[in-house]
Amino acid sequence: MRAALYRRPGPAAEVLEIVDLDTPEPGPGEVRVRIVTSGINPTDWKTRDGHAGRTPDGFQVPHQDGSGVVDAIGVGVDHLAVGQRVWLYLSAFGNRYGTAAEYAVVPAERAVTLPERASFDLGACLGVPALTAAHCLGGDPGPLAGKVVLVAGGAGAVGHFAIELAKHAGAQVVTTVSSEAKGDLAVAAGADAVVLYSDPDAAEQVLETVGRVDRIIEVALATNLELDLAVAAPGATIATYAAAGDLTLPASDFMAANLSLSFTLLYGLTSEQTAAAVRWTSEAIAVGSLTPLPVHPYPLEQIATAQDRVAEAPVGKVLLRIAEQ
């Protein structure tokens, strides 16, 4: 199979190679998927760059997320069949066969049915962003009905699915963005209100439009903590998933309003937590509640350019289109 891989961490153009590899066979409990689309997330370039401190065991085919068609199944896999459309998550986690190749072999639970109504592009955008968003929203749509959610950075990949999953759960959603164009994307995702976070009265605007907020999905905790504290309802949770740097917490403000601060790293979730996030994401896809952001497609051969583009944090999702849809 044609595959992209790297053998040591380093800059994209230096370490990423396009090679012919033996097509891997699925072992017990695994499936092989013919990849149609490979989704790229910040974690993919950070891992390849060496930020994660991991050196590949021989080689690493990168990219956690993707979509495609089940091509072979290993012994003991009974919930998937050859020919089934699937989306993949955590493909390259503890596994050398990520999705930047014509085929990936993954543990079978990491291949999830992709309904006909969902495009392969959407399927390749889900893994890291949607599962992170679902977990930060509490992992269960039930308790969110009727609540107010603030999504910081609603045009980002995680922020986008946080809006769509919160709306799917029946919450009211306000989001902060840096530009009107990003606000338009957030409204298209279903946000009830959009506030420019650079506005000096951003907190007042949130309070005027939706009132106090029960849950905050936070991408920039250090920058936004003052805003978050100003709009949080008593008992609210601030759920953050992006590195915040060193931060001094005003503990008495948290205590006075019984606030919780939670930190999420997708790689560290329990299998039950991951399964809950997958379940919610699947329910939302099944009823058409999830949509892709605008996509920036590249061929497999341009993976280095594509990963560097992700590092520039473009608006929308960068993908590799590997096979015909």
Ligand X SMILES: NC(=O)c1ccc[n+]([C@@H]2O[C@H](COP(=O)([O-])OP(=O)(O)OC[C@H]3O[C@@H](n4cnc5c(N)ncnc54)[C@H](OP(=O)(O)O)[C@@H]3O)[C@@H](O)[C@H]2O)c1
HEC string of 272-323 equals HHHHHHHHHHHHHHHCCCCCCCCEEEEEHHHHHHHHHHHHCCCCCEEEEECC
Identified binder of ligand X from the candidate list 129, 141, 190, 292, rule CB under 6 A: 129
Tokens in use for 148?
Answer: 């107010």
Identified binder of ligand X from the candidate list 242, 244, 311, 323, rule CB under 6 A: 242
Identified binder of ligand X from the candidate list 47, 60, 91, 132, rule CB under 6 A: 132
Identified binder of ligand X from the candidate list 12, 114, 220, 319, rule CB under 6 A: 220
Q: Kindly determine how many residues on this chain lie close enough to bind ligand X according to the rule CB under 6 A.
A: 27
Taking a C-beta distance cutoff of 8 angstroms, is the pair 105, 26 a contact?
yes
DSSP 177-243: ESSHHHHHHHHHHT-SEEEETTSTTHHHHHHHHH-SEEEEEES-HHHHHHHHHHHEEEEEEEEE-S-
Asked whether position 219 contacts ligand X by CB under 6 A, the answer is yes
CB of 179 or CB of 258, closer to ligand X: 179
- Which of these segments, 7-15, 117-125, 220-228, 282-290, binds ligand X (CB under 6 A)? 220-228
d(CA 39, CA 279): 20
Asked whether position 139 contacts ligand X by CB under 6 A, the answer is no
Taking a C-beta distance cutoff of 8 angstroms, is the pair 128, 65 a contact?
yes
* CB of 63 vs ligand X, minimal distance in Å: 13
CB of 70 or CB of 306, closer to ligand X: 306
Asked whether position 262 contacts ligand X by CB under 6 A, the answer is no
Question: Partners of 113 in the beta sheet?
Answer: 86
Asked whether position 260 contacts ligand X by CB under 6 A, the answer is no
- Which of these segments, 57-65, 71-79, 165-173, 260-268, binds ligand X (CB under 6 A)? 260-268
Residue nearest to ligand X (CB): 156
Closest of 167, 293, 144, 151 to residue 219, by C-alpha:
151
Could you list the residues that contact ligand X (CB under 6 A)?
41-43, 128-129, 132, 152-153, 155-159, 176, 178, 182, 197, 219-220, 223-224, 241-242, 264-266, 313
